[in-house]
Amino acid sequence: MRLCDVLDSKGRHVHSASPNDTMMDVVRKLVAHNIGALPVVDEHGRLKGIVSERDILRLLVRDVESLQSARLAEHMTRDVLTAEPNDDVDSCLNTMTEQRIRHLPVCEQGKLTGMISLGDLVKSQLDHAVFETRQLTAMMMGQYPV
């Protein structure tokens, strides 16, 4: 299974942030959309970084007062691991697990086209396993096609 299959199933809309947003703007977006990370994109949709709950917590530990005014560009993760739509789900799961990341931006030709979470990939794998189990069970019972 490929990432584009997961994106087709879950949807390709991505909430994002601008490098000029404040960290408080980011907190509001994360809460409003009940998500754990936002890709940071420029005006052309090109990925510039990512900001997660962990980045916000690091800022809070250092300087809680700066949350209102600190610019995202100063606190986002710039060296972002990304994937492409045709990447294999198993490979991405391994990368995310090894790198201890929960969100993976999906890009095509430098432009953000989707966002995959660890939960999205686990759900897709589980759905696929359930489908295969039903198919195999039906075949064993002589029920064609399922």
Domains of the chain: 3-140 (3.10.580.10)
So what's the pLDDT on residue 138?
Answer: 86
The reported pLDDT for the residue numbered 66 is 79
Per residue in 34-91, pLDDT tens?
999 999 999 998 999 999 999 999 888 888 887 788 888 988 999 999 999 999 999 9
Q: Give the pLDDT band (50/70/90) at residue 99.
A: very high
CA pair distance 71, 35, nearest whole angstrom: 20
Query: Coil, helix or strand for 105?
Result: strand
- Is residue 110 very low, low, confident or very high in pLDDT (cuts 50, 70, 90)? confident
Q: What is the pLDDT of residues 17-37, one digit of tens each?
A: 999 999 999 999 999 999 999
